[in-house]
Amino acid sequence: MYRIRFHGRGGQGMKTASRILGTAFFLEGYEVQDAPRYGAERRGAPIFAYVRAAKQTIHERGVIQQPDLVIIADESLASVSSAGTLIGIDKHCVLLIVSNESPESWKHRLNLDCTVLTLAYEQLDIHQISYAGIVCTGAAARLTGIISNETLQRAIKQELAAFDESVVANNLHQALDAYKKMAEHEACVQKSQEISADNYQAPEWITLPFDDANISAPAIHASANSVQIKTGLWRSFRPVIDYQHCKHCWWICSTYCPDGAINVDDSGQPQIDYDHCKGCMVCVAQCPSHAISIIPEQQAEVAAPEVTAIPGDKR
């Protein structure tokens, strides 16, 4: 059985990526299971999706714990432990990261002994960033060595049937480009050994101890802890205020911001709290003097490297 996991952010098309790959396997005569996994869905939050493909009926279910191929569409997730990108990666696994950094650098940084591949994107190309999912699908299809160019195209057309021709054409272009770029790594994904009932690691079961109600009631006693949750991490694009055009109205952007992430300082200047701005762009739409623009996070890092959403976050 092939076990493949896609990691990305809500809005990057991870669910669609898994569905296209699932359909491609299915068209190649495989039994398939594909599913997205998210909690309260929201744009920008880490999500993942997975695909199982095998020649016989698939009985295994749920999140893939021992992947053969892991794809990280958003490199900033590699270091976010709650995103679970690295779970179950062992020596036989292939890790593909959409990144301009070298595979060696990632291998060293993440302390991995598996095959690491990268797929470079053109710097600061907003257009290409929004195609992260389809790029990953094209690459993954080639890495399995199972899916032909024609099958990949058929799967994309089938899964994107509801979209107009130009959208499909753009997706085909991006996917086939990635498919081509991965030619030298074709079929590098190897199926893992199935766990045997003779030789396995026993679960470290415990008997759950009783806790008093003041411990075991699901209550949060910490106050104001939402400040500690850096929701700015969900952003793939950020709003930037152009103070040349800002009329210092003092209230519009800060009032409309649904997260209270824009504060007006004593001099009447609005300041965006990038630790908590989720990148919804409501402020951009509301500003009557059109003084707020949108730039990709990568570009923001180049322009102002000191303003990063999270300490230690690559961006």
Partner 1 sequence: MNRVLLTGNGAAAWGARLAQAEYIPAFPITPQTEIIETLAQWIDQDKMTARLVTLESEHSMITAAAAAAVTGVRVFSATSSQGLLYAMEMIYTVSGWRAPFVLVNVSRGLASPITLEPDHNDVLAARDSGCLQIHCSTCQEVLDNTLIAYRLAEDPRVRLPVIVNLDGFYLSFTREPVLLPEIESVKNFIGEYNPENMRFRAHEPMSHAVAVLGGAPYSYFRYQTHLAVENGLAVYDELAKEFEQQFGREYGVIENYFADDADYVFVMMDSFATKAKDAVDKLRATGWAIGLLRPRLIRPFPAERFRTLLSGKKAVAVIDQNISMGMGGVLHSELCTALYGQPQTPEIVASFIGGLGGRDITVEEFFEIAKSIRHADEINQTPSPRLLYTETELREIRKLQSLANVKLHGFGETS
Stretch that binds partner 1, among 35-43, 98-106, 239-247, 288-296 (CB under 8 A): 35-43
Which residues are CB-neighbours of 212 under 8 A, at least 6 positions away? Answer: none
CB 120 within 8 A of CB 99: yes
Of positions 34, 68, 75, 297, contacts partner 1 by CB under 8 A: 34
Establish if 258 lies at the interface with partner 1 (CB under 8 A): no
Total binding residues toward partner 1, as defined by CB under 8 A = 46
Stretch that binds partner 1, among 78-86, 122-130, 192-200, 292-300 (CB under 8 A): 192-200
User: In 3D, which of 292, 278, 197 has the Cα closest to residue 242?
Assistant: 292
Of positions 221, 265, 267, 311, contacts partner 1 by CB under 8 A: 221
The CA distance from 281 to 154, in Å, is: 35
Burial 87-126 (b: 16+ CB within 10 A, else e): bbbeeebbbbbbbeeebeebeeebebeebbbbbebeeeee
Establish if 219 lies at the interface with partner 1 (CB under 8 A): yes
CB 73 within 8 A of CB 10: no
Both tokens of 166, joined, read 């130009």
Establish if 164 lies at the interface with partner 1 (CB under 8 A): no
Establish if 265 lies at the interface with partner 1 (CB under 8 A): no
Establish if 65 lies at the interface with partner 1 (CB under 8 A): yes
User: Which three-class secondary structure state does DSSP give residue 111?
Assistant: coil
What is the nearest approach in angstroms of partner 1 to the Cβ of residue 218?
A: 4
Of positions 81, 166, 193, 196, contacts partner 1 by CB under 8 A: 196
Stretch that binds partner 1, among 76-84, 164-172, 188-196, 256-264 (CB under 8 A): 188-196
Establish if 231 lies at the interface with partner 1 (CB under 8 A): no
Stretch that binds partner 1, among 33-41, 108-116, 242-250, 283-291 (CB under 8 A): 33-41
Establish if 306 lies at the interface with partner 1 (CB under 8 A): no
What is the nearest approach in angstroms of partner 1 to the Cβ of residue 254?
A: 29
What is the nearest approach in angstroms of partner 1 to the Cβ of residue 137?
A: 15
Hunting for tokens 């107009």 — which residue is that? 164
CA dihedral 124, 128, 134, 140 (to 10 degrees): -50
Q: What does DSSP say about strands 270-272 and 115-119: parallel, antiparallel, or unpaired?
A: unpaired
Hunting for tokens 């990144």 — which residue is that? 99
Both tokens of 264, joined, read 């007006």
* Residue closer to partner 1 (CB basis): 183 or 197: 197
Of positions 12, 16, 23, 298, contacts partner 1 by CB under 8 A: 23
CB 17 within 8 A of CB 137: yes
Establish if 305 lies at the interface with partner 1 (CB under 8 A): no
Hunting for tokens 């003041």 — which residue is that? 214
Q: Which residues form the interface with partner 1 (CB under 8 A)?
A: 19, 22-23, 26, 31-37, 39-40, 58-63, 65, 194-198, 200-212, 214-215, 218-222, 225
